[in-house]
Each structure stands twice: as structure tokens, then as C-alpha cells.
Amino acid sequence: MPTIKAAVCHEFGAPLVIEEVQLAAPKSGEVEVTLDAVAICHSDISFADGAWGGFLPAVYGHEAAGTVSAVGEGVTGFGEGDSVVVTLIRSCGICPSCAGGAPTLCETPYDDKNGPLSTVDGKPLSQAMACGAFAEKVVVDHRQIVKIPSDMAKDVAALVSCGVITGVGAAVNAAQLRPGQDVVVIGAGGVGLNAIQGARIAGARRIIAVDMSEEKLEIAKEFGATDGVLASLKSPWKASYKALGGKGAEVVLVTVGAIPAYEQAARYMGRGGRMIMIGMPHSGETATYEPVIMAAIGQGMIGSKMGDVVIQRDIPWMIDLYQQGRLKLDELISGRWSLEQINEAIADTKTGAARRNVILFDRA
């Protein structure tokens, strides 16, 4: 069995270890993708820190792009040499959720302990999030990949696999924003900036960015925010109301997994407003609300996983927007790192200053 280089998590909260691992050949319905780039998402960091449990050792990483290098039996529509993005959205295509047009909620379980990865001595190695893209190659189900233009830079394309579809999709698909509605986006990090772009594309009247950093609020305006509010204010929602002409927002997009952000989010909503829950707190953390108020004025909360996207439909659309100059992607990249520098890139991401750090693989 061939070996590849990967960043392996052996202990929650400990640095990842760069080592040789084994990757099985693609089975029926699977493809092998040789990666050019993988971005670091906060979900990878949370998993590696033990926030949501899981089997160890494991290879994380799920926001990737590369070239198809092998195709398993029964795969149609893809061939060796195709440029693709790789996502964690592994849908069976036949369960009620998939058949109902919600592949991000696929009900068919995936056994990440018995995937294509193993240690060099043949022991189980978890392919986390059905992807395991902190590695030179991945073997994934063909439904997890989407073709991209061959001339599109892979480091830019990788961002579309998660952060972009999650943010833009939450605004367009989950919130179902209509032109003229007002939006508050809590968190101006990678997903938050894309939620802002999604709100702009959907025709929002005003888009209020809320964040702890003044610098990030200024960046948010470059991506389409009309106003910025510091979350550290005593009552930041009052500043939002003022910017919206004395009213709450129709939609509040919570893009960070911080409990204070969730507990304050309802205060930004107007009558009939809806909170879209995107950011994922650690397991066991809870937020409290006063339901009588929400019931009395028709407010609601909606969870959104991966922007509720159908990748075969939404990713080509978003790439087309990028090619038209209507969706910013290049500007989302904060830094480019080698696989050997992944722990430094993770540490930089943890500071909260980075939009997206991208690992580039040496294909020489």
C-alpha cells in the first residue's frame, strides 16, 4: 500500500505530527485526489483540541483542492487530471434528507475509523470528517468533489470547500434573505466575511458586522458590510438598532461558536426576525433565552450546517460569481504555509486575526 505524508493528531490539544501514513486505493464510487492546497478551518482546530470527541489517531483537514489522480470502479463524470475541490459533505443520495434536497443532513452514518487511512504498521487511522485532507492525498466518495476550472488557483479554490459555502449558503439558503432586508453578522472571521458577502449578493439593505476587533470590522466593510459594531460595547445591539433606523434586523447570522455571541444574538432581531446558527460551540456548552419574547413577536432560530448547500449546484455558481468579480476569494487568504509549518499556521489561526491560512503541498 503506498505511503503519503500527513499531519496526524495523536493526542487532543497536542501539536500535530508530520509522518508517513498509508492510503488505500479508491474503492467503488471513490476517487483519489492529489492535493495542492488545504485551508485551516476552526472546526479542524476544535476537533484536534477535543471539543467534540472522536477517535485517535486522526488526520483532520476538510477544505481542500487538487487533481484527481485515480478513479474507483463505477465512478462517472470524473477522470484523472480533473481539477476539483474536496468537501466533507458525504451524501448517500438515497436517504430521506438527501432525496429531499438536503445532502448536508445525510442520515447514512460514515465510519471514519475504517476509512482509507492507516498507520505505516497497519493500525487504524481516522479519516476525520470523511476527508482527512491534512495530507498529500485523499480518497473520498465521488459525491464529495466538484470540478473547477483548470486555471483556477488551488489555494483560492480550496476556500470554497467550507468557509465560503458555509457563509454564503447560510445567508442565501438557510436565511432565504430577500432584497431590502437588514442583516446582522456576528463574527467577522472567515465564515463571517462570507456571510457578509452572501447577504450582499442576496440584496440586503444594510449589513451590520459585529466583532471584538476594530480592524476586522474595517475588513468587513471591504466585503460588503455597511456598518460595524464593536461587540465589547455595553449594549452593542443598541448601536445596531441605531444604524438600522431604530429597528431590529430581519436576519442575524451567528458565525462564531462563542456562547456570549449566541446569548446576545436574539437582542439584534426585530419582529419576525430569525437567528441563523452557524458557529459551533463545544459540546456541552449551553445558551439561555426567554422564549415568551420570541414567541410573542414571532422570532425563530434555525441551525445551518455547511450553508445548507447542494455542492454540485452551489459551488459552480459561487465560482462563476468569483470569475465575474462579484465574490471575493483571494482577499480571504491571510497566509500560505507548508505542511511542515502546520502547527505554526494553527497557532496563527487561533489568534483570531487570520481570515484563512492555507497549507500548500510541494508537488515537485
Q: Fill in the DSSP letter of residue 92.
A: -
Output the CATH code of domain 3-162+308-360. 3.90.180.10
pLDDT at 354: 85
Rounded (10°) angle between helices 190-201 and 214-222: 40
Domain locations in the chain?
3-162+308-360, 176-303
Please report which confidence band the pLDDT of residue 35 belongs to, taking 50, 70 and 90 as the band edges: very high
Write the CA distances from 91 to 41, 105, 219, 312, integer angstroms. 21, 8, 35, 12
pLDDT tens digits, one per residue of 53-94: 999 999 999 999 999 999 999 999 999 999 999 999 999 999
pLDDT at 362: 80
* Domain 176-303 in this protein, CATH class: alpha beta
pLDDT tens digits, one per residue of 119-177: 999 999 999 999 999 999 999 999 999 999 999 999 999 999 999 999 999 999 999 99
In whole angstroms, give the CA distance from residue 125 to residue 119: 6
Largest CA distance in the chain: 64
